[in-house]
Chains A and B, each alone.
Chain A
Amino acid sequence: MYKLLLCTTYLRTRYLAFVCIVSVMLGVCTLIVVNSVMSGFSNKLKDRLHGILADVLIETERADGFDETPAEMEAVIRASKAGPHVEAVSPTVEVFALLQFHVMDRSGKRVPITKHVRLIGVDPAKHSKVGRFKEYLVRQHADPAPSFDLTPEAKQRFERNRQFSEWDQPPKPNKVAQAPGPRSVELFKEPIIPAGLEIPVAIPPPVLPQGPPPPLPGAILGYSIAHYRYKDPETGESKEVEILRPGDDILLATVGADGASVKYKTFAVTDYFKSEMSEYDGGFVYVSLDELQQMRGMDGRVNCLQLKLKGDVANDNQYVHETLIPEVQGKFDPTSARVASWQQHQGPLLAAIDIERGILNLLLFMIVGVAGFSVLAIFTMIVSEKFRDIGVLKSLGASDRGILSIFVTYGFLLGLVGCILGTGAGLLITEYINEIEAFLARITGQQIFDRSVYYFDKIPTNVDPMSILFINAGAVLTCVLFSVLPALRAARLHPVRALRFE
């Protein structure tokens, strides 16, 4: 009973110990906030990566694609042991391409802009079932059946662009249909045609009504390709300029299925793709699978098959990597068809995120380590102050172990109070981190979270209860460990020497 009484009494009355509490609180708070923010970023990144890619991808690097048709490949997969776990399949063609479009410079002159992009041919309905393709479309995310069709407004814009481009062209000479005159044949001296018979004049070609040309096939551009973000030098705000709108035409050039010839075609922008991943939003262009196959001369073949797995299996990483993927790989020639999960596809990036987070946690835990040293220093002082009290307690029958447990429990309570306060502060800061960021930006005039760098409108956070538990357990354990040494010193004090201590 005396141990509990003295611990709680010291906790209430030893103001110096508040230094320990504050140290622990700061360490725990910092760890929670940083972990939550990094976890938020990491989860959002993984979420985006997974949303863009299906669960399993079968790819080939052959320019002409797989030997088998998509339907044949799907039939093989569904007939295998992996078949029951496959929810949806989307065949795609993915190639490197050059994108060219025109923009108006300040003098009003049209200048070409060329970018290298990843050109992906998809069936929108099938592709929406294997990932979040539909959700990332800016205009069609709510449509039940997204497509590459132009909206009426886009068609109008396309038509207007076409007219403007015609007005820009130099005038062409009018070609008047010349009716052919009577033919003279000088092959034979004697006329073949008897005299007096008139050769009729050739019928001129019919003049067809002048209508608009057929609409161009549609293309969905990565958001960053069609938009340009910059910081206003006067206001410092991030601003966005639209450089390609639905209805504008673009030229896409890529390598044909033979691997040698260059194929190009003009498309019209129909929509934007916004995944908030700058790598994809700045480099992906989606077109209709049929159009790309035709353009490249692929005869209905594809070079990528994306599989979505059923919910319970998709979350079982071990099963997917150790059983399902080898099963599917076994059905295809590994030299031409590579089967990989989305994690394996993005392996280096995901590994980098996890390593960075681990190192950051280790470094930040040093803050808690510093708190531990403050516990050691302050407890050493407290034990020195309490020498006589310890002597009295021993003379009244307190055991060495009891004296030890007073100070170890005191360290535990300090750590516990620091953790509770730190966790509360950390969760509060995490909850209102965007408001705090805005406030600090206002005060300092500096953008802490530059939205022109990240495509997130808000700082993403994710509070993981297990992380909080580990942080708190680590902090309390640190305090207890650092209190052991002074506690041992107190326990080993000779009662007579302690009573005589000046």
Chain B
Amino acid sequence: MLVAKNLTKHYRRHADVVKVLQGLTLTVESGEFLSIVGASGSGKSTLLHLMGTLDAPDSGQILLDGRRIDNMRGKQRDLLRNKTFGFIFQFYHLLPELSTLDNVLMPAFIQQSVWGWWQTRREWRRRAEELLTRVGLGHRMKHKPRELSGGEMQRAAVARALLNRPRVLFADEPTGNLDVDTGADIVRLLRDLNEDSGVTIVMVTHNLEIAALTDRVVRMAGGRVVEECFSEV
């Protein structure tokens, strides 16, 4: 479904050149829960960003259902990020001025015009409330992010990522800022979502215990995939 072919990416700071990805190739199957592990600086997050079209590779291709997405620009790319992909970040990245419900609704706000929102607002609210209830935040809809715990904020971020029924969910160290138990809860939540709705999940983590909960684990080193194994879960 999602294929990264021979990707290279480097960062330059003045005269220093840091080669992050060096000819990486990876295939993600539809409905798969994939985790990418590796040491710090191995290029895990960079790969995630490239696959999610948040960044562009120096060379190589990224294909979604056989269609190139790495060279998409403008409206096509924005539409892809809004409707096809969902993102969960290590630091949650909820908008602090909005309530939890409004944060979850943000993809719909971006997608809809004012008039379009006015016409469809009830359906969107219902969907957001269902998602929040699903992730255990039904009683925290009106609260601001500063009033939520880390785990609750990450659950809200998960609900936000799922609002538009994305085909692929990208999670960049979703448990990195949480304690072990909370982190495990989050991964279990993602697991359940993957099994229930069949959403493809690509998760970056440095926690092997967390990675063990996924379908397949891919290990990166030196900007390449060096090992992969299938989980027994």
Which residues of A pack against B, CB within 8 Å? 1-2, 4-6, 9-10, 13, 388-389, 391-399, 402, 494-496, 499
Is the pair A395, B79 in contact by a Cβ cutoff of 8 Å? Answer: no
Q: In the complex, what residue of chain B is closest to A494 when comparing beta carbons?
A: B55
Is the pair A1, B109 in contact by a Cβ cutoff of 8 Å? Answer: yes
Stretch of B93-101, B127-135, B197-205, B208-216 at the chain-chain interface: B93-101
Task: Give chain B interface residues in 86-107, CB to chain A under 8 Å.
Answer: 87, 89, 91, 93-98, 102, 106-107
Is the pair B113, A495 in contact by a Cβ cutoff of 8 Å? Answer: no
Interchain CA distance A495-B57 in the complex, whole Å: 14
Is the pair A4, B54 in contact by a Cβ cutoff of 8 Å? Answer: no
Which residues of B pack against A, CB within 8 Å? 49, 52, 54-55, 74-75, 78-83, 87, 89, 91, 93-98, 102, 106-114, 116-117, 160
Contacts of B89 in A (CB 8 A): 392, 395, 499
Q: In the complex, what residue of chain A is closest to B102 when comparing beta carbons?
A: A5
Contacts of A495 in B (CB 8 A): 54-55
Distance in Å: Cβ of B11 to nearest Cβ of chain A: 10
- Given the interface contacts A396-B82, A397-B83, does A391 sit within 8 Å of B110 by beta carbon? no
Q: In the complex, what residue of chain A is closest to B86 when comparing beta carbons?
A: A396
Distance in Å: Cβ of B160 to nearest Cβ of chain A: 8
Contacts of A5 in B (CB 8 A): 98, 102, 109
Query: Could you jot down 19 A-B contacts, CB within 8 Å?
Result: A1-B116, A1-B117, A6-B95, A13-B97, A389-B95, A392-B89, A395-B89, A396-B82, A396-B87, A396-B110, A396-B160, A397-B110, A399-B74, A399-B75, A399-B78, A495-B54, A496-B55, A499-B54, A499-B93
- Given the interface contacts A392-B95, A395-B87, A495-B54, does A4 sit within 8 Å of B107 by beta carbon? no
Is the pair A2, B49 in contact by a Cβ cutoff of 8 Å? Answer: no
The DSSP consensus for interface residues of chain B is helix
Is the pair B55, A396 in contact by a Cβ cutoff of 8 Å? Answer: no
Interchain CA distance A148-B55 in the complex, whole Å: 95
Is the pair A496, B54 in contact by a Cβ cutoff of 8 Å? Answer: yes
Interchain CA distance A35-B80 in the complex, whole Å: 54
Distance in Å: Cβ of A201 to nearest Cβ of chain B: 123
Interchain CA distance A6-B112 in the complex, whole Å: 14
Contacts of B110 in A (CB 8 A): 1-2, 393, 396-398, 402
Is the pair B79, A4 in contact by a Cβ cutoff of 8 Å? Answer: no
Interchain CA distance A495-B89 in the complex, whole Å: 12
Interchain CA distance A13-B111 in the complex, whole Å: 24
Interchain CA distance A394-B54 in the complex, whole Å: 8
Contacts of A389 in B (CB 8 A): 93, 95-96
Is the pair A396, B116 in contact by a Cβ cutoff of 8 Å? Answer: no
Is the pair A397, B114 in contact by a Cβ cutoff of 8 Å? Answer: no
Interchain CA distance A391-B49 in the complex, whole Å: 12
Contacts of A392 in B (CB 8 A): 89, 93-95
Is the pair B97, A397 in contact by a Cβ cutoff of 8 Å? Answer: no
Contacting residue for A397 out of B98, B102, B107, CB 8 A: B107
Contacts of A1 in B (CB 8 A): 108-110, 112-114, 116-117
